[in-house]
Structure 1
């Protein structure tokens, strides 16, 4: 059974895309813990990050890194944090988080946001990417 992320890749489920290549996709988390909470995934469905081959693993992290400057400009913060947990969706994904304190990395708390706000923020981040 395809993961929810595979359905997003195929366009079966809408998302607020930030960046995309032939092999990777970045989009805003639909249930963010911080403004700008971005998910970065390989398009190929691989459950566990350490099951990616070495090239995919390296390219995934380089793709995530390429998004950071635009994210930080669009959502000013002290740092962009990165975490890979891998329990909630069986599809490798990186969380990019805008952080001003450790409390901003609390996955038990979600922030309220609307689809319109997510769309506007995604457009702002894309504009910063050039």
Structure 2
């Protein structure tokens, strides 16, 4: 069965996509820690990041770096935090989280619930910086 991320990649379900190439995609987390929280995902469905081949792993990180640069321009923050947890969806994903304090990347805190319009507006803002 396809992961929810594969369904977004295949456009079977909607996603607020901010960047994409042949191998990777970046989209907004619909339950973000902070506004602008993105997920960067290889299009190949692999469960565990260290099971990626070296080329895909390196490409994922370079793609995430490019997206993080645009995200930092779009969302006022001190830096972009990076987390790879990988337990909630069985498809490799890198979290990019705008941070002003360590608490901004605390995954145990309550998530935000932005509206679809708020997500669309944020996605457009980030896209314009990439």
State the TM-score, normalizing by the size of structure 1. Answer: 0.97
Question: What is residue 53 of structure 1 aligned with on the other side?
Answer: 53
RMSD: 0.7
Question: What is residue 9 of structure 1 aligned with on the other side?
Answer: 9
Question: What is residue 128 of structure 1 aligned with on the other side?
Answer: 129
Give 4+ residue runs of structure 1 displaced > 6 Å after superposition.
Answer: none
How many Å apart are 1:39 and its aligned residue?
A: 0.1
How many Å apart are 1:112 and its aligned residue?
A: 2.7
Give unmatched runs, 5+ long, in structure 1.
none
Determine helix, strand or coil for the equivalent of 1:86.
coil
Q: Distance in 2 between matches of 1:19 and 1:9?
A: 11
Q: Distance in 2 between matches of 1:49 and 1:70?
A: 23
Question: What is residue 75 of structure 1 aligned with on the other side?
Answer: 75
Deviations 1:56-87 (A, max 9, x none): 00000000000112101111101100000000
How many Å apart are 1:48 and its aligned residue?
A: 0.3
State the TM-score, normalizing by the size of structure 2. Answer: 0.97
Determine helix, strand or coil for the equivalent of 1:40.
strand
* Residue correspondences, number: 129
